[in-house]
Chains A and B, each alone.
Chain A
């Protein structure tokens, strides 16, 4: 099963601001429509590898961005992916 992680934002402004401030950083990420399996916040979410999500979150918070949620999606073909909300307050990625 492939898995990837997502950061959602309270407003479009912060989604695009995230893209803008991360441009100069060495992390790979992509702006994508919020997966429907994550109940919708704004139309655009940031998709990244699950190894990087905690670091990205810290970096974005340092830049005063407002973030909404953190999710892990495990995908299996066309089936509805399994969504796990992540609690990134703990060390590493602990599933809530």
Chain B
């Protein structure tokens, strides 16, 4: 059988391919506009400054953020989540989070708990990955300051009921941090309509940009303590980091070539339309889910209705190691996917696949139905092999 790198079913880890303009812009930025943004004042620096400004504006447009100064660039979503959690939480605070949360939330919270700075409560989720809203209603305490919402699970694709959860927290004066690692660029996110306080996103998944890019939106009126301090090119005579956003939360030279690529990724999304991308990915997920359902030996996880799910489907095959299935898929068919726990151990506990994990298939905007047909055919053969 032919091996084609287009048989890439790991877009939930990082998207591939990227729009051609993304590759080109990153290269051009490195070759031609190589000044250090914010530092020197010469023309190449100014060019880099303008590029970063345009990227901030594009991100603001995508998430309906009125003031681009509230968009801070980070290395990825993990970085953004760390900045939000460690910059917002104070000693004695109580935090609510869900079983679908990724280690990028679980581990910072785990450390803050271990250091006896905070307490926290996990909101359980259904075996499809939807949070238990009744449980949430009964979990608030007087010292609760933050609700962390995993917008879409990286294991099942389940999209959390954002509006309901935010309303529940806000009526008690509690702030909300939305982890949009799996949704930015593929599910419409309106920070003003939803009244999101903090939005963490990565650049290299749904936004179709390079790795090493991401961002955090901080709504106006909320000031985070910076996780990092250092050079900004501004107010250099002061011995404290500038308080003005966005530099308040950005220290050191930004990843300007990465951000040049990210700008093109976001531009592609704005031109295509997030709704259009969501429609297309939802169709692909449903197509994949339905085809997998026809293989009786597989157990599928996550919503059967792809209308409320990001393009992620997990499965297991009885008596077969998920890692082994992933290995056969690549070595015999050239199909790339991800197996195991996907950095989300509590999610696998919730859906009943801990500690073995699952095989996760995540198509992207550029996946074709014929790729899914080829994948399903490969899985049929593997099932026959394992059962035979």
Contacts from A to B (Cβ < 8 Å): 9-17, 19-20, 31-34, 39-44, 64, 66
Contact = CB atoms under 8 A, between A and B. Distances in A.
B49 A34 contact: no
Contacts, number: 71
A52 B49 CA distance: 25
B53 A16 contact: yes
B50 interface: yes
A43 B53 contact: no
B233 A42 contact: yes
Given A12-B37, A34-B41, A17 B53 contact: yes
B165 interface: no
Nearest to A20: B53
B280 interface: no
Contacts of A33: 40-42
A16 B56 CA distance: 11
A16 B49 contact: yes
Given A10-B242, A12-B49, A13-B244, 8 more contacts: A10-B234, A11-B242, A11-B246, A12-B234, A13-B56, A14-B69, A39-B237, A43-B41
Contact of B45 (A13, A19, A43): A43
A42 B234 contact: yes
Interface of B: 37-42, 45-46, 49-50, 52-53, 56-57, 67-69, 232-237, 242, 244-247
B376 to A, nearest CB: 49
Nearest to B246: A13
Which of B45, B49, B245 gathers most chain A CB within 10 Å? Answer: B49
A64 B40 CA distance: 25
Which of B41, B45, B68, B233 gathers most chain A CB within 10 Å? Answer: B41
B53 A44 contact: no
B50 to A, nearest CB: 6
A43 B38 contact: yes
Contacts of B69: 13-14, 17
A19 B37 CA distance: 15
B65 to A, nearest CB: 13
B234 A41 contact: yes
B251 to A, nearest CB: 12
